[in-house]
Amino acid sequence: MKHKIYKYVLSLLRRVAKLIQIGNPAGRAPSLLNEPLNMQQLEVQAPLPKSMAVWQLPNTLCSGLYGGVVINAQNQVYDRFLIYPWGKELHPCLTFPYLGNKKLDIQKAVFLITVATKANYYHWIADLLPRLLLVQKCGLADFHERSFILHQPERCYEHDTLRLLEIAEEKVIRLQTFETIAVKDLVIADYLHSRDGQHFPAWKKELLNEFKAKVLGPESKKGDRKIYLLRGKQRTRKLLGEERLVHMLQELGFEIMDPQQLSLLEQMHILSQAAVVVALHGAALTNIIFCKEGTLIVELRSSHKPPEYYSEIAKTYQLQFETISLKPERVLEPRHLANEQDLHLSEKSLETLLSTLQMYEVQHQY
């Protein structure tokens, strides 16, 4: 019911925005453009599905509204760069009477805002980084001379990533929600969201593997470290009884790692040497992207509506993936709320985990 009311309000606002939109040079909300117009598709030196491309556009206005918006000189917004849960035709750039304050006029930029990436390590590594690597694969002679428009808030792992890609901090511009930037020459990659239960694309794996090889150098033949990724004092989805689990795993020779205390390079290095990784469902499991084929991944997760992000990554990366189901503190039906509940570590789940680890050790004798 709430969604219906929200959509109705947005549809009313759109009528107003068609007449007046403050902050838009045209004075009114843009129209939705389904087909590419005045866009040059750049050649990418990487295998890509037909749904993905990198584009170069002249004379655009970039907005920070929900996931990022690109408006052309004819006051048209590009459909292929939009994402909105209640329908693209109700995106805030089309329905809000206020677009935002112009922050800057710049000559050349790469635009990389995506709604799910803000302060989320998984979406930064799995969604935004591959798109940035795609742009890099276009072989633009002026790649490092361009500005890079990113979202607020910023995180340490974002700085680490950009440093590893040799992108200077002074070239990064952070765009707030109600801000716009006019760009003469814009480069942008299509947005393909990594969704729950969908296959993690092979093209992303290839790009991320190249990034890993460039950063870490030649891969050693065998990883032998046993790693537990600490959940710690997170605001949501805490592991109730984690201290006991940590003690048990330490006795089994596990190293206890707190990803929040490590740089991106340190996380990549540690996970690339792992034989076994145990972790509670959460962004830290994104790091299995840096594991070798055959690494055992054990995800501790809710028995109620568990997401499949990491099982899909494991399939693409040919990792051995096991799950241990834990009882949530509360059973809630909306998936996003169900996934935020604290989880109980029971005797049975501990026994199942121990059995899984012992079986793997017997099979591999590491």
What pTM value is reported for the model? 0.90
Q: Which amino acid is at 286?
A: T
Amino acid 335: pLDDT? 57
pLDDT reading at 337 higher than 60 = no
Q: How much is the pLDDT for 136?
A: 96
- In angstroms, how far apart are the furthest CA atoms of the chain? 71
pLDDT at 338 over 60: no
What is the full DSSP assignment across 131-187?
HHHHHHTT--TTGGGSEEEEESS--HHHHHHHHHTT--GGGEEEE-TTEEEEEEEEE
Would you say the C-alpha torsion 33, 19, 74, 62 has a positive or negative sign?
A: negative
Token digits for 84? 């909105």
Per-residue pLDDT reduced to its tens digit, 37-73 = 778 999 998 888 888 899 999 999 999 999 899 999 9
Domains of the chain as residue ranges with CATH:
2-189 (no CATH), 202-364 (3.40.50)
Query: Nearest 5°: CA angle at 186, between 184 and 191?
Result: 155
Binning pLDDT at 50, 70 and 90, where does residue 362 land?
confident
88-122 tens-digit pLDDT: 899 999 999 999 999 999 999 999 977 766 778 99
Average pLDDT of every residue of the chain: 89
Q: How many CB atoms within 10 Å of residue 242?
A: 18
Q: Tell me what pLDDT residue 114 has.
A: 78
pLDDT in tens, 225-282: 999 999 766 666 778 888 899 999 999 999 999 999 999 999 999 999 999 999 999 8
Q: Rounded to 5 degrees, what angle do the CA atoms 193, 39, 201 make? A: 25
Terminal-to-terminal C-alpha distance of the chain: 55
pLDDT at res. 234: 64
Q: Tokens for 293?
A: 């084929």
